[in-house]
Amino acid sequence: MNRLSFILSVCIVCHVLTGCALKSPTARPARAAAGTPVADKFAGVRWVDARQLTLEGQGWTATASPYDRLPTRAGELVTPAVWNLSTHAAGLCVRFATNSGKIYGTWDSGGAMYHMPSTGMSGLDVYAKNESGAWEFISIGRPHPDKPQYTRKQIATAPREGLVEYMVFLPLYSNVDTVEIGFEQGATVRKGFARSEDAKPVVFYGTSITQGGCASRSGMSHPAILSRWLDREIINLGFSGAGKMEMVMADLLGELDASLYVLECLPNMTDEMVDERVAPFVRRLRNHQPETPILLIDHCVFDASHKRNIRYREIYEELKSSGVQYLHHLPNNGLLSGRENGTVDGVHPTDLGFERMAAYQEPVIRGLLKNYGN
């Protein structure tokens, strides 16, 4: 073998050996069987299926996978894009109370997008109630997208002794089949403390922004932030690029016993879609739920003078004038612009942008819930 042939042979071998590592950042790793042991250091941990605790943010229980966001039958009704995205666990959270000094988690590994970190896309986000009753960030469960198995690790240390209530948000952009929460042997474990009977969930329907793109943690989308600030269950029906007000979605939303519907689909809709779909969608939803308030929210990136926001407000006024009741509108105030732009790419919010959105929406939503006795 001459020198050139030898070098070419080495290059080919190196390419073969290293090529298997060149994976798409969004590729799903192969899964091991649920409950597969990962390391002996977890041998003494008491594992509890998250579904045996308090799972919130899921509007339907008859789902194809335990953490899907739409019912199985919707697969034949909605668009393929909506159906695929409905398998992402965005907005779902597990609530429980324990005196365990350490909290562990097992969940499906996932990837990352070029403009969104894996901690938001496929990680866990852990919060605990402080002694004043407010939710505070504790820690995250960092995913291992490069490992062909479930991620299993310690995800939190108790902030204090005694019984502490926790809230763990599931991945925003990853389909999850298995979630287990681990506790120290002998620790007390309870479901999340019951909410008041009249505290029906708030339902958000929208786009990738609603779903949580591009939060750095799964609990930093604005619906998740509001769930903590309002201390209320929120159902996140955000579908990246696919929140377009199809009539079937009005029918599905109408099945939910909600305290408020928040519609923020404008970023996915063309001017023609706004003209053709907004009014029929609202009327269909109102037919299903005659008295549940509906809040229409402007495009969060475009300013109030943009023609799509102007037309949205005109349709709102037309609906009100025609007798549609319990309908409200929230204009855009430039919350994702200004000196410190609140987006990662001019469209999708950073954590700063999501916090701004939550702060802007909170008093309006809180006021509506109070005014309508919810």
- The answer to whether residue 84 is domain-embedded is yes
- Give the number of residues written for the chain: 374
Would you say residue 148 has pLDDT above 60? no
- The answer to whether residue 249 is domain-embedded is yes
Residue pair 240/265 in contact (Cβ under 8 Å)? The answer is no
Mean pLDDT of 219-245: 97
Q: Token pair of 102, please?
A: 């350490």
Separation of alpha carbons 138 and 133, rounded Å: 14
Provide, rounded to the nearest whole percent, the portion of the chain with pLDDT above 90: 75
Q: Token pair of 126, please?
A: 């852990």
State the distance between the two ends of the chain, measured CA to CA, in whole angstroms. Answer: 81
Are both 182 and 215 inside the same structural domain?
no
Are both 107 and 206 inside the same structural domain?
no
pLDDT (tens digit per residue) in 102-123? 999 999 877 778 889 899 999 9
Are both 231 and 177 inside the same structural domain?
no
Residue pair 230/199 in contact (Cβ under 8 Å)? The answer is no
Are both 131 and 209 inside the same structural domain?
no
- The answer to whether residue 228 is domain-embedded is yes
Are both 208 and 335 inside the same structural domain?
yes
Residue pair 110/173 in contact (Cβ under 8 Å)? The answer is yes
Q: Among residues 159, 191, 223, which one ends one of the domains? A: 191
Would you say residue 176 has pLDDT above 50? yes
pLDDT at 332: 86
> Which helix (DSSP H) or strand (DSSP E) does residue 5 occupy?
helix 3-19
- The answer to whether residue 12 is domain-embedded is no
Are both 255 and 337 inside the same structural domain?
yes
Are both 106 and 233 inside the same structural domain?
no
- Whether the ω angle into residue 265 lies within 30 degrees of 0, i.e. cis, is no
Are both 51 and 178 inside the same structural domain?
yes
Would you say residue 213 has pLDDT above 70? yes
- The answer to whether residue 18 is domain-embedded is no
Q: Among residues 138, 164, 191, which one ends one of the domains? A: 191
Q: How many domains does the chain have?
A: 2
Domain limits for position 118: 40-191
Are both 290 and 311 inside the same structural domain?
yes
pLDDT (tens digit per residue) in 29-69? 344 444 554 457 898 999 999 999 999 999 999 999 999 99
When pLDDT is cut at 50, 70 and 90, the band that residue 27 belongs to is very low
pLDDT (tens digit per residue) in 286-323? 999 999 999 999 998 888 888 999 999 999 999 999 99
Residue pair 205/263 in contact (Cβ under 8 Å)? The answer is yes
Q: CB under 8 Å, gap of 24 or more: what pairs does 271-275 form?
A: 271/307, 271/308, 271/311, 273/244, 273/245, 274/308, 274/311, 274/312, 274/315, 275/311, 275/315
Q: Token pair of 44, please?
A: 């003494």
Q: Token pair of 12, please?
A: 């080919």
Sheet containing 151-157: give its strands across.
46-49, 179-183, 102-107, 151-157
Provide, rounded to the nearest whole percent, the portion of the chain with pLDDT above 70: 88
